[in-house]
Amino acid sequence: MYDVLSAVEITQSVWVSFPSVIYTLRLDRKPLYYIVNLIIPCCLLSLIALATFLLQPSSSDRLGIGRYTFIVTDI
């Protein structure tokens, strides 16, 4: 999800009475993670929901697909 670009460790014990260590991390986000796990599933579920309007109104599959989309979005 993240790449560590650089890491710096600074040890300071001059001005304080106890030793301390400060870590500085520079992170870079991976955009492919969000595209695969958030954007693509949302787009596919939207397409499935729109596909129900292409079916005949008397079709029982229309109701089944609607229920399926509702259940999947809740999970």
Cα 75 from Cα 2, distance rounded (Å): 25
* Ranges of each domain in the chain: 2-74
pLDDT for position 15: 65
pLDDT for position 20: 66
Cα 15 from Cα 26, distance rounded (Å): 26
pLDDT for position 10: 65
Tens-digit pLDDT profile for the chain (75 aa)?
677 776 776 666 566 666 666 778 788 888 888 888 888 988 988 888 888 888 888 877 888 887 888 787 776
pLDDT for position 12: 60
The 8-class DSSP code of residue 57 comes to T
Half-sphere exposure of 17 (CA within 13 A, CB side): 0
Q: pTM for the complete prediction? A: 0.54
**What residues contact residue 38 under an 8 Å CB cut-off, 6+ apart?**
none
Cα 71 from Cα 48, distance rounded (Å): 13
